[in-house]
Amino acid sequence: MIPDINLMPKIEKGETSLNFAFYLVGIVSLVTLGLLSWTFFSAKSEIASATPERDSLILTRDELSAEVTSFETMNQGSLEESVAFVERVSYPVTPVILETRNLLPSDTYLRDYVFSETDLQVTVDFETLNAISSYVSKLEKSPYFDDIQLGAIENFDLNPSNDELDAERQFSEVPRYSVEIMLLINQLHVAAGGGES
């Protein structure tokens, strides 16, 4: 048998592997510390830039909340006013409208009417001034109205486009008049049922 003789001195590898492990742990620690530092400073800069934006959003939210509150109180006021108006005006308006339409002369058009608490304003188109006076006198005799006030009388423009009109067309068209009339409503007569009382 041949003896195993090793004349080379023994080299211990434990120290180099231990040094390598320390270096590796140190490098990993430095990289981790660098990443944590970078994350910390980037988060800090993002927070610093987001703080004014947050403050402006909070201010906007407060302003919008104040607007919503003011709109809610305004709508409640208008709703309360509407209910109060309906309670004050406790008479049927259909007979009043029918009366104003029934008294119209022929070829006359009721264009618009606006109610308030005690009166009615109508806009009517007439063909002649005589038709206006006839309508006003019929309204004065009507038991539905206490007072009649004649407002603005305006005539229609026969040629709104400013075109040259031939003689036949110029004399065949009759000028029309638009009249605003304020009618003070007799609430007792209307509330009692109008013509049925």
Q: What percent of the chain has pLDDT over 70?
A: 78
Q: Which helix (H) or strand (E) holds 124?
A: strand 119-126
**For residue 45, how many C-alpha atoms fall within 13 Å in the half-sphere facing its CB?**
5
> Hey, what are 33's tokens?
């510390």
Among 6-20, 36-50, 101-115, the range scoring the smallest mean pLDDT is 6-20
pTM above 0.85, yes or no: no
For the cut 70, the answer to whether the pLDDT of residue 140 exceeds it is yes
Q: Look up residue 64 and give its amino acid.
A: L
Among 66-75, 79-88, 107-116, the range scoring the smallest mean pLDDT is 79-88
The set of long-range contacts for 45-52, using a CB threshold of 8 Å and a minimum separation of 24, is none
Rounded Cα gap, residues 164 and 123, in angstroms:
30
Rounded Cα gap, residues 149 and 122, in angstroms:
11
The candidate with the shortest Cα–Cα distance to 136, out of 196, 84, 53, 147, is 147
Ordered DSSP codes for 73-106: HHHHHHHHHHHHHHHH--S-SHHHHHHHHHTPPT
Report pLDDT digits (tens) over 84-120: 766 666 677 788 888 888 898 888 888 888 888 788 8
For the cut 50, the answer to whether the pLDDT of residue 150 exceeds it is yes
Report pLDDT digits (tens) over 160-194: 555 666 666 666 666 788 899 999 988 788 777 76
Burial (CB count <10 Å: 0-12, 13-18, 19+), residue 157: exposed
Report pLDDT digits (tens) over 116-135: 878 889 999 888 888 888 99
